[in-house]
């Protein structure tokens, strides 16, 4: 391991290094949640069949929205590096739009499950841990999406006012891709497995 220290540890700006440290700690938080869910799931005598509980096509659509927003974010970071600020502005706005769409879809999903009788403490399948972990994990992830959307909306304003740099866009991008990355794990381990 080569620190290559001085003013740029590991060859990156301190802001970017701090973002990576944040991503690791936040990633460990989700790793803890998912391991806890794995424990509850392994320990439960039965678990609701996700094909029956969720509309998987709808969850897949949510995944499509988030992956697409990650692609628009990556495009805006690439555009910022070549100072194509018009493209940066439109792509950051598209990414924020993806965040809003994802949140709206999640609100709809939560609403339909709550109407079906799923709460933190009980659900029609008598597996309390199911509702517990569902709301905890998707709620924490959704909060990350909400924060990311606010960051992106702010970034869009700053890009229009030419008050940000390519490094600023990159930092917002790292956070947004992390949110997408967490969803890859949540989607697989909670909705499919």
Partner 1 sequence: MESHESQSYGALWKIWGVLLVLTAIMVFVDAMGLPRVLLLVILIAAMLTKAFFISSQFMDLKHEKLAVGISVAFSILFFGALLFALIAPDGVAVLHGGR
Give the binding site for partner 1 (CB under 8 A).
1-4, 8, 10-13, 16, 20, 23-24, 27-28, 31-32, 34-36, 38-39, 42-43, 51, 56-57, 60, 63-64, 67-68, 70-71, 73-75, 77-79, 81-82, 167, 170, 173-174, 177-178, 180-181, 184-185, 187-189, 192-193
Tell me how far, at minimum, the Cβ of 152 lies from partner 1, in Å: 15
Q: Which is nearer to partner 1, 34 or 118 (CB)?
A: 34
Tell me how far, at minimum, the Cβ of 193 lies from partner 1, in Å: 6
Q: Which is nearer to partner 1, 8 or 120 (CB)?
A: 8
Per the CB < 8 A criterion, the answer to whether 59 and 134 are in contact is: no
What one-character-per-residue DSSP string does 28-92 give? HHHHHHHHHHHHHHHHSS----HHHHS-HHHHHHHHHHHHHHHHHHHHHHHHHHTT-HHHHHHHH
User: How does 161-186 read in b/e, with b if 16+ C-beta sit within 10 Å?
Assistant: eeebebeebbbbbbbbbbbbebbebb
54, 65, 91: which is closest to 180 by C-alpha?
A: 65
Per the document, the length of the chain is 193
Q: Which is nearer to partner 1, 34 or 113 (CB)?
A: 34
CA Rg value for the chain: 19
Q: Which is nearer to partner 1, 35 or 150 (CB)?
A: 35
Tell me how far, at minimum, the Cβ of 38 lies from partner 1, in Å: 5
* Six token digits for residue 98: 């993806």
Tell me how far, at minimum, the Cβ of 178 lies from partner 1, in Å: 7
Q: Which is nearer to partner 1, 74 or 153 (CB)?
A: 74
Tell me how far, at minimum, the Cβ of 113 lies from partner 1, in Å: 19
């Amino acid at each position: 391991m080569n620190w290559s220290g001085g003013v740029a540890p590991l060859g990156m700006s301190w802001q970017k290094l701090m973002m990576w440290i944040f991503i690791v700690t936040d990633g460990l938080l989700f790793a803890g949640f998912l391991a806890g869910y794995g424990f509850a799931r392994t320990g439960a005598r039965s678990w609701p069949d996700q094909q029956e509980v969720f509309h998987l096509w709808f969850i897949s659509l949510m995944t499509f929205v988030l992956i697409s927003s990650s692609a628009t974010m990556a495009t805006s970071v690439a555009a910022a590096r070549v100072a194509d600020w018009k493209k940066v502005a439109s792509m950051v706005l598209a990414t924020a739009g993806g965040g809003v769409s994802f949140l709206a879809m999640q609100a709809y999903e939560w609403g339909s499950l709550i109407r079906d009788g799923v709460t933190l403490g009980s659900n029609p399948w008598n597996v309390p841990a199911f509702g517990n972990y569902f709301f905890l994990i998707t709620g924490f992830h959704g909060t990350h999406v909400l924060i990311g959307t606010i960051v992106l909306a702010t970034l869009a304003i700053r890009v229009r006012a030419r008050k940000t740099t390519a490094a600023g866009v990159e930092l917002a991008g790292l956070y947004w891709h992390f949110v997408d990355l967490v969803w890859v794990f949540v989607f697989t381990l909670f909705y499919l497995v």
